[in-house]
Every structure is written in structure tokens, then in C-alpha cells.
Chains A and B, each alone.
Chain A
Amino acid sequence: MREFLEGSQAIAKVVSLCKPGVISAYPITPQTHIVEGLAQLIADGKLNSQFINVESEHSAASVVLGASACGVRVFTATSSQGLFLMAEVLFNIAGMRLPVVLTCANRAMSAPISIWNDHQDSISLRDSGLIQLYAENIQEAVDWHLLAYRLAESRNIMLPAMVCIDGYILTHGVEPVDMPEEGEIDRFLPEYQPPYKLDVDNPITLGCLADPEYYMETRFAIQETYKDILASMPQLFKEFGSIFGRSYNFVERYRLDDAEKAIVAMGSVCGTIKDVVDELRKKGKKVGLLKISVFRPFPYQEIYASLRSIPKVAVVDRALSLGSFAPLVSEIKALFFGKKKTPKIVSGFVAGLGGRDITKDSVKQIFRQLNQREVSGKFVDLKPELLQDKI
């Protein structure tokens, strides 16, 4: 049914339809509305889950770890500093192969403190073992949660998943959303059947010590499983499309086929870029967008196939690896190394940190800069007047 919903309320609603047995979270802007919505549904008797209030995000992650280890579907959500407080536990959740689903309302990292959007929080946890899915709009945010649960709980996968949605832009924005019906969700997402769980009648230990004889194989297994995810997702997308009528893929190729210039980006900024692409196309300029929706696993093949024939590529990072190339551009450059057919230019741009708007003009500026020689780590819309050599 089509509803007009705030992003956070839409996510709360779709998560409640997935019927998690345990929800635990700690409030943090801009995530709070999501778990507030879920707490309200429980208080109103519309959702039969246990909401466990905790004193920190470290505890919230630990609670969902424990509940998931007991064989229950779980949910948590956080942002920025909260995600970092969870970080230690998230590596454990992935290592223990527990299908926790987490919403990250993307927000900048302190200091200086900023409650506004960029991707530094989730991108910094790219190596934690969590599947990472980025949403462009509220509809995608809703749908990625269904896919996240289904993927995470697949018997051959059993890994946690993080749905990344841009703070404020998607969490507090209001859009019409086609909210899936409960029956459809039940068809796509059957009841969680844990292949292993903590059970007093059949005791096991999870997350125990692995000496050097055992540790490497646990990591290798996760790395191999990410290949299985890449292999199994197309079928999952197809099934999703047949039930819900919306088709997704690892990446979205927007007017790329004959493009001479393309921007690569993730998240809500893709909406703005699409508008600019349409405007420039009307003027006869051959431009396009490659939106990356699935960041972990990194869909090398789809990205390579989409970009290899495009002469000039701009990668927009809303995150940084201070002291090196930005994360997305370095991975995209790496995948072209040693290939015969590659773009002539792969320029890296850093934009929209700490909630600075990436406007249509910013996007046009990026397309224009592709006429010049290759740049890496070029900051867009920087204000030089705020910078000084001495303090």
C-alpha cells in the first residue's frame, strides 16, 4: 500500500513486519526516530517483540548478539559515535556468524561534533564483516531491510548486515513509500531457523578462543562467503522483484550506455546526480551515473563492466581515509589495475562531509572538472576562507 511516510517511520514499520523477537538500541541523532517508532509499536501492542533498553550502544550490540545467538531474529540501529561504540561487538557478531540486521543512519564522525550526514561512520567499518547496503531513497531503505534479513539469515551466509541510510536526508525526509504487505513479506522472508543456537538442552559455545591453529580458517570462511553472496544475490533480486514488483541490483546504471563522463556515488546524493544527468542530457551532453548500492560485498564485476568503456569517471566519496585516497575511489581504481579496457581518467572527489549540501551545482562542477587532468581527493565546495596556516 502506498503511504506518505517519514523515512524513520517507514523503516520502523518494515522492521516490525519482519517480526524481530528482540530489539535493543540506544538513542542517537539522527537514528532515534527509528527505534522510537518500534518502541511505540510495541507499547501499542502492534508488535510482539522485546525492546531491551540499555545504557550504551556497546550494550545494545551485545544484547542483539546474545539474542541472535539464542536463535532469535533481532534488530538494532545507530549512527556515528554510536556505531563506533558498537564496533568491537560488531566484529564479534560477524565472527560468530550471527545474522543481526542493523540500520546505520549515516552521520559524520566527531570531532568537531556534527550530527549531519556523511558516510564516514559506516565506511570506517567496511572491514568488520558486515554486509553493507546503501539506500538512495526511502523506498530503497525499506526494501533493503527485507533483503538484509533474507541475505543475513540464509543458511549458507549467516552474516550480519548493515543498511546505510543518509541521516536526515532519508531518516527525516518524507516520501511516498510502497509499503510491502505482511503476507508478501512472509513469503519472501520465512521464519528464522537458526542452524546453531545457545540452548541449555543442547549446549554449545560460540565465540570461544581460537588459537593460531584455528583462527585463519574462520576469517577465510567469511571471505569465501562474500563470494557466495555475490553469486546468490542475482537470484534473490529476481525473487524480490517477482514478489514486490521492484527490481534491484548491486549497482544501478543510470543513462550510462553511451556516456562519455560518469559519476560513481552511493546513497541519497544519487537522486541529485540523476537530476543533473537528465538536465545535461537535454543539452546533448553524454553523462551518466553509476550508483553503488551494495558496498560489501564489493561488486567488482558489475562495476568493471559498467565503467570500462567510459572515458572519464568521477568517484564521489562522502567519506575519507585521512592520509590516503578516499575509500571508494581507491577500491574502484584498484579493480582496473592490469585490465586492458579501462577509463582514461578516474578522478576522486570528496564531497558533502558533515552535512554540507551536494547541490546540482556541485555535481555540475564535478562533471566540468573531468575535462581537466585526473585528480584524487579533490574536495568539492571547500571554503578556503575558513582555513589558516597558523593557529
Chain B
Amino acid sequence: MFGPIVAKPGSSRKNKTGSWRTESKPKFLQTNCIACRLCVLVCPEGCIEGLEKNSFHCDYDYCKGCGNCASICPKKDIEMVPEG
């Protein structure tokens, strides 16, 4: 008898790690954004994307709510808001 011992690649496509978020999630206000891309750079999940000013957003399926993006944003254009 075998337990779940072998993991196939691509498992995060099935396992949405955004469920690990506990308290708050980032809200992209998209009003004062200057497209500096710092939020993209610091996101440990690589789940933020955007090209033009005020177009940046994240994939909540994978965002773990660490708040790095809100903390680094020079325009305070990302806010951490409660889940729900």
C-alpha cells in the first residue's frame, strides 16, 4: 500500500496557494500609479502584472497577502484591506 509519496510537477496549477492568505489582501487603487514596477519586483509569488500606469493588479489565486507590494509602493497606491 502506498500513501501520497510521488508529486507530479505543476501542482500549483491545481493547488491555489492564495488560500494560505489569512488576514488581508492588497487592493490596487489604480489612481496614483506611476508604473515603477516595484510591486512586481518584490512580489514573492510573482503574481502581480501590469504594463501601463494604473493597470497593475494581482492574481488572488496565488497572492498570500504578505503586504510587500503595499509596503514598497512609493505612491501608496496599494492598500491592504481585510479579507472578504
Contacts and interface: CB of A to CB of B under 8 A. Distances in A.
Interface in B1-42: 1-9
Contact of A205 (B1, B2, B3, B9): B9
Contacts, number: 41
Contacts of B6: 196, 204-206
Contact of A221 (B3, B7, B8): B3
Contact of B5 (A203, A218, A220): A218
Contacts of A356: none
Nearest to A224: B1
Contacts of A156: 1
Nearest to B8: A204
Contacts of B8: 203-205
A305 interface: no
A158 B1 CA distance: 9
24 contacts: A96-B5, A97-B2, A97-B5, A158-B2, A203-B9, A204-B7, A204-B8, A204-B9, A205-B6, A205-B7, A205-B8, A205-B9, A206-B7, A207-B5, A210-B4, A214-B4, A218-B3, A218-B5, A219-B3, A220-B3, A221-B1, A221-B3, A225-B1, A228-B1
B65 to A, nearest CB: 18
Contacts of A158: 2
Contact size range, B: under 10
Given A156-B1, A220-B1, 7 more contacts: A204-B6, A204-B9, A208-B7, A210-B4, A214-B4, A221-B2, A228-B1
A217 interface: yes
A330 B5 CA distance: 32
B5 A206 contact: yes
Interface residues of A, number: 23
B9 A218 contact: no
A279 to B, nearest CB: 47
A68 B47 CA distance: 36
B5 A95 contact: yes
Nearest to A218: B3
A158 B6 CA distance: 13
A156 to B, nearest CB: 8
**5 closest A-B pairs (Cβ-Cβ)?**
A218-B3, A221-B3, A217-B3, A205-B7, A224-B1
Most buried by A among B5, B6, B8: B5
A305 B71 CA distance: 71
Interface in A85-109: 95-97
Contacts of A222: 3
Contacts of A224: 1
B15 to A, nearest CB: 10
Contacts of B3: 214, 217-222
Interface in A69-126: 95-97
Contacts of A207: 5
A204 B1 CA distance: 19
Contacts of B9: 203-205
Interface in A177-224: 196, 203-208, 210, 214, 217-222, 224
Contacts of A214: 3-4
A317 B1 CA distance: 32
Interface in B21-79: none
Contacts of B4: 210, 214, 217-218
Nearest to A213: B4
A222 B6 CA distance: 14
Contacts of A221: 1-3
Contacts of A204: 6-9
Contacts of B7: 204-206, 208
